[in-house]
Amino acid sequence: MSYPTTKAEAEMQGYKLERSAKCAGCGAEIDFYRTLNHKLIPIDADASGKSFVPHWSTCPEASKFRRKK
């Protein structure tokens, strides 16, 4: 199974929209989806539903939220 590229594909693959919020780093609107592994993934909010882009790939403050290894 490939990674979904639209919200419709994500929902067909079993991803569930949990909630919407603002990013604590940049203030952008994001949607949190529950993955098939029961983890939350922040997705850029897109009213058209045509994109399913992880917010960490577009957030200028993403490094603040990365876990240390």
pLDDT in tens, 57-66: 999 998 888 7
Considering the domain boundaries, does residue 68 fall inside one? no
Considering the domain boundaries, does residue 36 fall inside one? yes
Considering the domain boundaries, does residue 12 fall inside one? yes
pTM, whole model, 2 decimals?
A: 0.86
Chain-centre distance for alpha carbon 50: 13
Total domains in the chain come to 1
- The residues that bridge with 38 in the sheet, in sequence order, are none
Task: Give the separation between CA 44 and CA 23, rounded to whole angstroms.
Answer: 10
pLDDT at 64: 87
More confident residue, 69 or 63: 63
The arithmetic mean of pLDDT across residues 41-47, rounded, is: 91
Considering the domain boundaries, does residue 51 fall inside one? yes
Taking alpha carbons only, the member of 34, 39, 37 closest to residue 16 is: 34
- Residue numbers of the domain that contains 50: 7-57
Given a cut of 80, is residue 69 above it in pLDDT? no
Considering the domain boundaries, does residue 1 fall inside one? no
